[in-house]
Chains A and B, each alone.
Chain A
Amino acid sequence: MAVTVLGIRHHGAGSARNVLAMLKKLQPDLVMVEGPPELEPLMSLIGQKDLKTPVSLLCYDEQNLRRAAFYPFAEFSPEWVAAAWANEHKVPLRCLDLPLALSWEKFPETPDAQTSPEQVRPRDPLSYLAEIAGFDDTERWWELQFEQRTFDHGPEEHFEAVMLAMKTLRDAEIPSHLDAENLFREAYMAQLIRKSNLELYQNIVVVCGAWHAPALLDLDKTEKEHVKILGKLPKSKIKVGVTWVPWTSDRLSMQSGYGAGLASPGWYEHLWKHPDDMGVRWLTRVAQLLRKKKMDISTAHVIESVRLGESVAALRGLSRPGLLEMNEATQTVMCMGDGVLLELVRKELVVGVALGKTPENLPKLPLQADFEETARKLRLPFTAEGKELDLDLRQELDLKRSVFFNRLSILGIPWAKSSRSRSRGTFRESWVLKWEPEMMIALIDKGVLGNSVEDAATVFLREQSERTTSVGDLSGMINRAIPAELFEAVSRLLKCISDSASVSTDILEMMQAIGPLADTGRYGNVRSTDQEAIRQLVSGLLTRVCIGLPNACYGLDDASSEQMFVQIRSVHEAVQLLDMNELREAWLRALQVVAEKDGVHALLHGCCTRLLLDGKWLDADEVASQFSRALSVGNDPMLSAYWMEGFLKGSGLILLYDAVLWNLLYQWVGTLPEEAFVNLLPILRRTFSKFEPGERKQLGEKAKKGQVNLSSKALEAASDRFDAGLAAMPLDFIAGLLG
């Protein structure tokens, strides 16, 4: 009976190589790899063709899908290599760790943890060794010492060295932040090995994290103690579901079930495939990548990079250049010292862009389960023909349904389609439900995002928000996230918008965002913390818009001016809604600058003047003089007409009230030559046709009467008291009678 413990680093390419060499040499009759026993059934798939790295095992609590853990594997993961070897040689494979069902239970506190609950997290034990060796980066030390180096006396020497290093650290009782947890895990691991021993396996190879290796030696001595520890373990009723999910290289670099993530999966894969490469192959690949991006990289560049890499390594006293030296050589020789291109190398080569594949007919994904469960709870039928649903959002069930539909639509699953959009102040929503089988595939595709529809939608929005810096897009996402009640995503999006807005130079886009945001801030169904954040964000956006508006309005053509016109009006409304005096003042001041700035389209001049009048920033006399200036004979009639459109668009009531403006307009029309008048008709029509019918009628009546006599104060007073709405009512009625 022999047990060989091989201490590895998870995802260590050198560790994997040595594990493989040892397996070949020892030909064990049982292979045990670190990992909760729940993984065992699915580990047997490793080695099959349709399971392609990078992939991950996903474990989840069947009752509480949010509790989940990932165990990702790359081609060069020692656990993967060991499992593949075992499966290929038909050697039994077992997992070695505390079952997840147990580790998800509440743990009894260890006495140490009780006495000092606010203990600082101790430093990485390996850093002591790295420091002695003169490295400030522990990862780099390990990589050079164990992953890249080939030991003279083969893999045995490698594992002896690892074991010695770990044993020394552990014997010195250097603490690790995982100590409390490890106590149980290691006891359990040891117990599993003892059990296998009893089953009369003769030659067991154990592959586990290096730190645990020393604890799995001398099993006879520790048995009593371990049994005592394991007695304290809680009982667990948690049912753990496991399945394979496709993984990506950049996900490999995240934190996961196996602890530390891997910063450079692509580089490790290279080390795994070409252990003897001194940089030639790697730098050739870098050169090829840069060439693909239209950079002139010659073979001479590669030669010089290799030489520089070697001499920097020599200067640092290293036996061979590592990733750091490769990157430095690339940057210095190929990229003219520029680090930006290196980012490209990092993304495509150092991390890599590989996507894994999993076989079909695997157990159901949690997201799928959550989806079906929610649909059942909300009593939503899966019908192929369209079914209409009218929701009253004051009912809890209907509100939940609406939220659920909104989440699905964020995920791109158009099961329910909204037939009328929800506007503020209404409680009604209409949806059409229509189920198509492809939707399930789309859902499964989103399985990596999260285990519940809510989580997946949140992560989806997060990923989307990382891909764009457009303020418009982001505010669109917020408007989708709010009815879906994805509060976490909303907070994040708010942060994104405020980041993008501060570097964005597109004033129009910011203005577009302000309106809906202000609306949401006031009426939307959001948490109060977000409400405050929205208000802050809007005021930040508004400050920027106020500073940038005059420049943004400069030199616009007709079409762009019209866009700007719409935005200025919508921001103006938002400003009224916000009710913040300081901002209102800044906004009106900016409008005044625009109104007086040369080179701004007459439409905008008119619009700003009107808004300033409405905001009581300019008094009537001032406006009258501007009105008269805009309509003076010397101007191009086209400009005057645009000015008027800007000033009047939306509401003509002002013409009914203000005799001065009325007279100016009346005179202006009178001065127009016939040809010019005909040319202007489209613009004038556009301006006046938007008024309420009653208003139009009144204006027509007024026009018949001609100019208002200004000398008569009484008349003015009378027109002040004149109630247009009241007057309009019978007019409408009469108009109806007359047909």
Chain B
Amino acid sequence: MANVQRQHAEEQFAEELEALKKQDTGDRPVNWHLSPRAVVTYLTGGKLKNGFEVSAKYIGNRRLMEIAVATLTTDRALLLYGLPGTAKSWVSEHLAAAITGDSTMLIQGTAGTGEEAIRYGWNYARLLAEGPSEQALVVTPMMRAMKEGKICRIEELTRIGADVQDTLITVLSEKTMPVPELNMEVQAIEGFNVIATANNRDKGVNELSSALKRRFNTVILPVPESMQEEVDIVQRRVSSLAKAYKLNAEAPSLPEIQRIVTIFRELRNGVTADGKIKLKVPSGTLSTAEAISVVNSGLALAAHFGDGRLTASDVASGLVGAVVKDPVQDKVVWNEYLETVVKTREEWRDVYRACKDISI
């Protein structure tokens, strides 16, 4: 197992889960490995009574995690909604790992996901040889989760076609999955639930039907609230990615990252950091993940074509590309931002010049 590229959450944080379990005195819902409160602690981090330090998996508002966990204690399914790059899948994996100790029951939603990926499929060789039987049934993660009372995760729920999405309705409301070919059904045992993730601003998504919507409690994961939080996340991810790509570049200085995050936040929020000037908002999402990729591509430029030090001109092209998604409207937004905000900041002269050089 040592050489897998990425471990499951329950393996990577096995020690923390074990420590939490030992300390946990709260009531546990049936088939839960931890009490709801301990699950929240696992996600948001904290110090246990015996001094054991649990790392924070989710940096942000603790209340959101409380709502998510409380949802799972009722029999409602949980939908994590938000912009790309707001840690939805990450939270979903860790929730499953903490609650059932198993985050592997996963259905990846795509435009091509069919009903058989959610309900069950057939092993056709067996089906032809033996006729319909339980042995010929291909059990999906959903069916397995129902049988074992675990949590099934669905990634990118809104990418799945609307008709296929609706197969979930019976599962979520009746907690059963009929298999008419065998005249049987699989009934979910207690502890079963579904966590789905979805993007709210993306192309090619299928809006959920209101019947399905009604079966989910929705928690929107926001972009990081404070500047400090976001700079923190960017810095951490950039340094870990730079290591992974073995980039021969100096780690970007804190002011440089702060500057990029400031630009992202100001344009995203439509107001300057000091709250004095309002701004137009571009059409793109400007998520933290994009800020990270701007810094990363800047680092790659600096490493391969520059002197290894991240300069304004290295990030400029990535920055403009991230902001200007619509060639007409966003261009106006970006030019206004450059002229009214960037230009007036003395210490941002290099950014202004570098961005001006890229004529768009």
Contacts and interface: CB of A to CB of B under 8 A. Distances in A.
B184 interface: no
B218 A332 contact: yes
Contacts of A301: 214
Contacts of A503: 270, 278-280
A524 interface: no
B225 to A, nearest CB: 13
Interface string A325-340: 0001000110111110
Contacts of B210: 296
B289 to A, nearest CB: 20
A547 B339 contact: yes
Contacts of A315: 36-37, 40, 66, 69-70, 73
Contacts of B176: none
Interface in A173-217: none
B218 A308 contact: no
A298 B214 contact: yes
A298 B211 CA distance: 11
B63 interface: yes
A336 B218 contact: yes
B213 interface: yes
Contacts of A551: 328, 332
B76 A308 contact: yes
A559 interface: no
A337 B218 contact: yes
A332 B36 contact: no
B248 interface: no
B214 A339 contact: no
A335 B270 CA distance: 24
A328 B67 contact: yes
Contacts of B81: 336-337
B220 A543 contact: no
Contact of B335 (A335, A499, A547): A547
A300 B66 CA distance: 22
Interface string A300-341: 110010011001101110000000100010001101111100
Contacts of A300: 214
Contacts of B69: 315
Interface in B176-232: 210, 213-214, 217-220
A316 B66 contact: yes
Given A308-B71, A551-B332, A502 B214 contact: no
A500 B74 CA distance: 45
Contacts of A312: 66-67, 70
B340 interface: yes
A298 B214 CA distance: 9
Contacts of A499: 278
Interface residues of A, number: 33
A505 interface: yes
B67 to A, nearest CB: 5
B214 to A, nearest CB: 6
Contacts of B71: 308, 311, 332
B206 to A, nearest CB: 15
A308 B332 CA distance: 45
Interface string A691-719: 00000000000000000000000000000
B156 to A, nearest CB: 17
Contact of B277 (A324, A328, A339, A502): A502
A498 interface: yes
Secondary structure of the A side of the interface?
A: helix
A304 B77 CA distance: 11
Interface in A256-315: 296, 298, 300-301, 304, 307-308, 311-312, 314-315
A551 B333 CA distance: 12
Contacts of A332: 67, 71, 217-219
Contacts of A314: 70
B339 A543 contact: yes
- Which bucket holds chain B's interface residue count? 20 to 34
B336 interface: yes
Nearest to B221: A337
A308 B217 CA distance: 9
Nearest to B337: A502
A540 interface: yes
Contact of B280 (A311, A333, A338, A502): A502
A304 B339 contact: no
A544 interface: yes
Nearest to A539: B340
A680 B121 CA distance: 76
A498 B277 contact: yes
Contacts of A338: 218, 220
A328 B278 contact: no
A548 interface: yes
Contacts of B66: 312, 315-316
A543 B73 CA distance: 55
B37 to A, nearest CB: 6
A335 B220 CA distance: 11
A503 B71 CA distance: 38
> Looking at B69, B81, B213, B336, which has the most chain A CB atoms within 10 Å of its CB?
B336
Nearest to A500: B278
A82 to B, nearest CB: 37
B217 A339 contact: no
A600 B125 CA distance: 69
> Looking at A301, A315, A551, which has the most chain B CB atoms within 10 Å of its CB?
A315
A320 to B, nearest CB: 14
Interface string B313-352: 0000000000000001000100110011000000000000
Contacts of B218: 332-333, 335-338
Interface in B218-257: 218-220
Contacts of A547: 332, 335-336, 339
Contact of A311 (B70, B79, B214): B70
A712 to B, nearest CB: 47
A544 B73 CA distance: 53
A192 B210 CA distance: 64
Nearest to B80: A337
B266 to A, nearest CB: 11
A137 to B, nearest CB: 11
A304 B336 contact: no
Contact of B219 (A298, A307, A337): A337
Contacts of A308: 67, 70-71, 74, 76, 217
A505 B76 CA distance: 43
> Looking at A300, A301, A316, A336, which has the most chain B CB atoms within 10 Å of its CB?
A336
Given A502-B280, A505-B280, A543-B340, A311 B332 contact: no
A640 B210 CA distance: 58
Nearest to B278: A502
Contact of B74 (A311, A324, A337): A311
A588 B93 CA distance: 58
Interface in A536-565: 540, 543-544, 547-548, 551
Given A308-B71, A314-B70, A332-B67, 20 more contacts: A301-B214, A304-B76, A308-B76, A312-B67, A312-B70, A315-B36, A315-B40, A328-B63, A332-B217, A332-B218, A335-B218, A337-B219, A498-B277, A500-B278, A502-B278, A502-B280, A547-B332, A547-B336, A548-B332, A551-B328
Closest 5 CB pairs of A and B: A337-B218, A337-B220, A502-B278, A311-B70, A312-B70
5 contacts: A304-B217, A308-B71, A308-B76, A311-B70, A502-B280
